[in-house]
Structure 1
Amino acid sequence: MSAAPSGEPADLTALAPRRGYLLALLVLIGALILVFVTWRVARERELRSAESEFVAQTAVMTDLLRQRMIYYELVARGGVSLFGSVARPTPQQWQAYVDGMNLPRRFPAMIGLGFGGYVRSSRLPELQTEWREAGYGLLEVRPRGIRRDYGPILYLEPRTPANAAAIGYDMYSEPTRAAAMLAALESGQARLSGPVRLIQDDANESLGLLLYLPVYRGGDRPQSVDARRTSMQGWVYVPFRMKRFVEASMGTAFSEERFRVYDVTDGYPRLLYASVNGRGEAETDRNAPAFKLSTTLDAYGRNWRIDFESPAQARAAPRLASLQNMLALGLFASLLLYAVALTLARTEDRARKIAVRMTEDYRRSETRFRSAMRYSAIGKALLDSEGRIVEANPALVAIVGNSEESLLGTRFDALFETDDAELAGHAHGRTDTDGVHRATRRLHREDGLVRQVQLTYAPVPGNVGQDISGLVQVEDVTERLRAEARVHALNRTLEARVALRTRELSQANQELEAFAYSVSHDLRAPLRAIEGFSRILVEKHAPQLDEAGRGYLGRVRKAAGRMGELIDALLHMSRLTRSELRLERVDLAKLAGEIVEELRAGDPQRNVEVTIAPALSVVGDAALLRNLLSNLLGNAWKFTRGNARARIEFGVHANAQGLPEYYVRDNGAGFAQEYVGKLFRPFQRLHTDEDFPGHGIGLASVKRIVERHGGAIRAEGVEGKGATFTFTLPGE
């Protein structure tokens, strides 16, 4: 490629593709900014909406508390009205009034409705005398002591043991109650006490509150404080538990909300109520509330602060999750747009480079072709439409053995034997469908040598004014053909050697089988001797042996019997790999049904639920496949013995490649998955012989049968929950 005429055009040419990459980067940055701004605006809008909903919900909850307190005031005012109609109602009248209101059902947090008298110290003996003469019993005011004013509980209904025990308690003696009672007396309005421990409750109960309404003689409402003290008759009061009060006010609609109620009247907060889902646990990023709000409530002279907390952000604003998906989709679209812009920039850069190189490549193409012709190790020649040589390279001159000048203008087919019909056909213009023709010819050199050459004809258009129709490549393959002949001879020799080794291997297998039978026969002889002599000892000399000796003889006989069983199992497993496969179509479902019937007949006292999928057709050796299913189903039957609701399933499902996989599943003893590698090894057992007897050969035989059929087997299990054995077999 030629250099640029000056430095400035070269710099502009280099900067042109960079502008495309810069534009792609700007597209990415702009798209990301747009996505983030859109997501941020939508997120803030969603959070504001959720916060507004949270604020509205807190207002509803605060109003519910206020309304419930108003209901309590109305109940207390009913008691005041009773005193307005009767100078002093009797306990029976008070009980009838309270029973008619059905307080436990309507207001479960309310302990009762009571009346506490306002008694001067000088009038206390007179009140006790009136109480006793009216037949109400002894009025014992407690705690004892001389005080200026008393506020004993005279009436408290409904009549429960705890309420009856509270009669006579001087509420005026306790500062928190006395403050609320005095505030009600002086204001003439209902007043709420601070948090106290109700006398009806034990230490485990929640805090309680009392709502007091003053009762004046004759139902009047004095205007001055002194007149109120003079006319004061007592207080109708409502004791209630704070926890039940809040729960009854909220109902089930707000049972999951998190909030706390504090009494802040005295300048420092006192906890009245904390919801179950409140901040009783440490806050983390996951369960930290999304919003917080504090409201105040004027509760009959007491100031309550209610601290609300919303759920975590995921629950407070559930639609944020969809915004996260929108953000991910926007990021993906931005990256996709960037990829498109980057691809266009690269395409433009590549096209620019190709355009710059094209002119130089065109000028150099003929030079490369001439160089390839001249320096190629394969003979090449350009032919005209009549098959004459227009140009030949040095390699062709060396193969033919003539000079380049003598070859020019010579018919190419004159260099070879004239009885080759294939070349003659090509010389007349016949070619293959792809335009390339290949042939092997015998070449007669000037020195008399005969060589085999490989010819490849291909159409090649020449320049304007040139009469060139094709290119022929000539490769001397004489030595290669001779080498191929030698390879064929070696292959025949190798086949003979393979046949010889096969016969030797078959003979070795036969000798190994004979050796196995001989060894098993030789092993059985001493086993029979051990078993026979130990049996004689047991039958004839057992009285001379102590209990330990007889136990040792029993172990010897048991070990000899087990060794005989192991020899039989080994011989059986060796036959599996030596027997010839007799392939036929086999219905595994039918085989499995027969095996299960045999298991039921051999163990009739067991009730096992067995499920077998229908029509499980495979191609294989029927005897070996029966052995395979007998081992798998027998194991499932054995290892579910300890399960009262044993279940075995034999079926098929498709694997990831869509091929059928057969499985045997049970809910028996199972095994630890970390020991799965030992299952298919001979004599490797994961359970003791006392729990589940066996030889450890069954699963090893199963693995060999499956692999002989070209399949594979795997096992999955959980201790105490069962096992699943999955295997593959050819369908055709």
Structure 2
Amino acid sequence: MSSTTDATAPATTARHWWRGGHVVALLVLALSLLLVFLAWSQMRKRELGLAEEQFRGSAGRQAALVQLHLNNIELTLRGGASLFTAVEQPTPQHWRGYVDGLQLQSRFPSLLGLGYAINVDAPGLARLQEEWRDAGYGLLQLRPHGQRERYGPILYMAPETQLNLGARGFDMYSEPVRRQAMQAAMDSGEPRLSASLVLMRDASHPMQSLVFYTPVYAGPVAANVQARRAAMRGWVFAPFRIDTMLDGALQTAPMRLPLRLVDVTSGNPVVLYQDAGVDAEHAFTHSLTRPMYGRQWRFEFHSGPHDAAAPQLAALDSLLYAGIATSLLLFALVWSLASVESRARRLAARMTDSYRLSEQRFRSAIHFSAIGKALLDSHGNIVECNPALAKIVGRDAEALAGQMFDGLLDDGDTAADDAQAEEGGVTRQTRSLRRSDGETRHVQLTYAPVPHEPGIDLARLVQVEDVTERLRAEADVLALNRTLEARVAARTRELSEANRALEAFAYSVSHDLRAPLRGIEGFSRLLSEQHAAQLDDTGRDYLDRVRRGTARMGDLIEALLTLARIGRSEPQLDDINLTELAEEVAAGLADADPQRRVQVSIAADMQAQGDRALLRNLLENLMGNAWKFTRDRADARIEVGQSRDDEGHLWFHVADNGAGFDPDYAGKLFKPFQRLHSQEDFPGHGIGLASVKRIVERHGGEIRAEGSPGQGATFRFTLGAVAGEDA
């Protein structure tokens, strides 16, 4: 019953996790969509604000252009008034010459002309008509006829077109709208605009027009209204149509905004001008009221629809769709991860069972081992031991549990200081041990750390091997055999032969691995070429991974063969010009990757003594790594040089400004298959720097690595005392 419960528990937990993981995926989808919509809403609001701000700025600038255009017309009118200051009574020829010099049609195409109207009473009008006739200008006929207190007939009007000549004699002071503006200009001494009116020439087809008046006085402008009225001579005026005036004023605007222009001087607003489509729906509107020479004008600007007023909104909508697509992709990714983790937990449950079986096998191996073994806690106490150790000590295994292991050893044994530390925390030493019957035995102790497990106090595994008989035999051999040196030499030769045989074996194994590897690659290639259509995307992806794995395995085998060749061959020392060798390697890298632009600096006259082939391999690895790790730098630099330290030793170096590495892990760089960067970022097999280290050591030198992330790396190496002295 218990076993059934234990078997079903992992599956139940896995199912619960499967459900929880997929709920998380749904939450991620909902949250990501919410964030996308919030971001889109905020950005849309900001874009609308910016568009409205730009619209308001454009509206203000266009209103200012209209104001500037009227200012320029005012200056023209004031120039005409100045003519009457310079000449007591200008003639029609004077006026025509002045107006022709202004080039009105090119400068102010909206003006219909520039004229002068005189200010006279009834007796003055009779004298004026007589003088006009005597001067040979013909009859000055007043229109409209009738007796009035004051008159303001037009005397001059240029350019002298038929319509302008027909206006001569028209009493503008008789018409209320014109009289109001003329009276305001006379009383204020400033230019004044009329209200909207219809010009005489437009009587058959009425069009809204305005007349701009500037007063002309006999002498300087007086300080009060009565004095100004007494000194009033007449008015320089310019009639114009409102629509053509706006066209001329706004012709320099980058984009003309739809406009409604309203005269709000009186309580009854009058629309002076209105663009087509103003009454349609608009994204923004902006109203500006400006004083215009005695009138109050309200500029009502309209932006047009949203797509015209804020064209960036279309791009934001595209970003919204992209954000929704990204959220869906993220959801698919999290959903996939949840499914993968569910499978991983089921696999972990199976691995737990496998671990228990492995632990049982481990305990069986310890129990039935012929060598004494004991598990020690962090204080050095025996947690568990096997029968072989109990036999060596001469006590029961149960009685040894909980005792200090060092208490079984001879405290006066000087061999305790001769412990030998090995890689991985393993230490070995030979000590003396007192059995329960008082006999002293010599034992070989091997301490190895045990991986820490939470809640279990196990620190080390000690292996106890009784070497008493062996040591006695060695003592006998030492006493009897006087030819120890010859035997040591023989054993050394045997060891060298064994090492060579081991290297040859590694070389042979590396070669033999290629045959099945070629088979895997060949059959996977055939499967890809001939049966790819029968596989789904996942199957083709697995197949691509197999082929990439075989290619990488091939590279690793080739690297192992290179490493084996370096270990077998004896260096053939010769005088080497490292400068020339580095230049050859740099040229090869540039030829292999012509698109790269790398600044390579190589010091001149670098001399060393060593094996040419090995040193070329060394430079190819170091400079090749520098070339590879500067791939993402636009200003990639590689430097090959030499320098001497404080003790006079010659050091060569290869430096770059590439990706660099964490200096805390510099010790891993020269170990086979140790990499500090991912295969995806920088491909490689992890053998190159191990080969470099072996080459340097074969030359009696040493190598060091310096670097920091994102700041590049520098590799410094020596080639032994011979190379340093000769160089």
Instruction: Provide the TM-score with structure 2 as the length reference.
Output: 0.45
TM-score (norm 1): 0.44
